[in-house]
Amino acid sequence: MPSSPANEENKLNKKKFPTLLFLLLPIVIIGVAFSYSQPFAAVPAATGETSVISNSQLVAATYPSGIKCPTGTKPSGGWPLIFIVNGNCYKSVGTGGLAGDAETQLLATKQVCTAQIAHSDIVRASDIDNIVKTKMIPLIQKNSSFINAQKIGGVGFSAGGGVVSYLGTDWASGIDPVTKTNYNFRVGAILNLYGPLRLDRSNATDATGNITGGGGLLYLQETRKNANSTVDIPNIRQWDNPNCYCAARGATQCRCDAASTQYLNAYLTAYNTDPSKRTCSFYSDDANLVAMSPTDYIQNNKPTHVAEMYLCGGWKDSNVDYDMNVNQVLQWWLPQYRKIVRADDGHGFPLSVCTAAASAAGTVLPIAWLTQELNVLGSFPPATH
Lowest-pLDDT choice from 184-198, 268-282, 331-345: 268-282
- Mean pLDDT, the chain, rounded, equals 84
User: Would you state the pLDDT for residue 16?
Assistant: 46
Q: Is residue 46 part of a domain?
A: no
Residue 190 has pLDDT above 50, yes or no: yes
User: Would you state the pLDDT for residue 293?
Assistant: 97
State phi, psi for 298 to the nearest 5 degrees.
-60, -45
Residues 69-80 have a mean pLDDT of 94
User: Would you state the pLDDT for residue 206?
Assistant: 63
> Which structural domain range is residue 317 located in?
80-385
User: Would you state the pLDDT for residue 23?
Assistant: 45
- Residue 178 CB: number of other CB atoms within 10 A? 11
Residue 271 has pLDDT above 90, yes or no: no
User: Would you state the pLDDT for residue 20?
Assistant: 44
Half-sphere exposure of 166 (CA within 13 A, CB side): 31
Global model pTM greater than 0.85: no
Q: Is residue 254 part of a domain?
A: yes
User: Would you state the pLDDT for residue 154?
Assistant: 98
Residue 48 has pLDDT above 60, yes or no: no
State phi, psi for 93 to the nearest 5 degrees.
-135, 155
Q: What is the DSSP track for 246-269?
A: SSSTTPPEE-HHHHHHHHHHHH-T
CA–CA distance, 381 with 71 (Å, rounded to integer): 34
3-state secondary structure of 239: coil
- Residue 209's pLDDT band (cuts 50, 70, 90): low
Q: Is residue 59 part of a domain?
A: no
Residue 42 has pLDDT above 50, yes or no: no
Residues 335-360 have a mean pLDDT of 96
Residue 160 has pLDDT above 80, yes or no: yes
CA–CA distance, 126 with 283 (Å, rounded to integer): 12
- Residue 205's pLDDT band (cuts 50, 70, 90): low
Residue 107 has pLDDT above 80, yes or no: yes
User: Would you state the pLDDT for residue 275?
Assistant: 67
Instruction: Report the CATH number at residue 146.
Output: 3.40.50.1820
Q: Is residue 31 part of a domain?
A: no
Q: Is residue 152 part of a domain?
A: yes
3-state secondary structure of 44: strand
| Structural domain total, the chain | 1
Whether 125 and 288 have beta carbons less than 8 Å apart is answered as yes
Residue 311 has pLDDT above 60, yes or no: yes
Q: Is residue 374 part of a domain?
A: yes
Q: How far is CA 378 from CA 23, 196, 256, 309, in A?
A: 66, 26, 42, 15
Strand partners, 244: 254
Half-sphere exposure of 28 (CA within 13 A, CB side): 6
CA–CA distance, 97 with 139 (Å, rounded to integer): 21
Q: Is residue 102 part of a domain?
A: yes
Whether 113 and 64 have beta carbons less than 8 Å apart is answered as yes
| Percent of all residues in the chain with a pLDDT value above 70, rounded to a whole number | 81
Q: Is residue 279 part of a domain?
A: yes
- Residue 274's pLDDT band (cuts 50, 70, 90): confident
Q: What is the DSSP track for 148-188?
A: EEEEEEEEEETHHHHHHHHHTTTTTTSB-TTT--B----EE
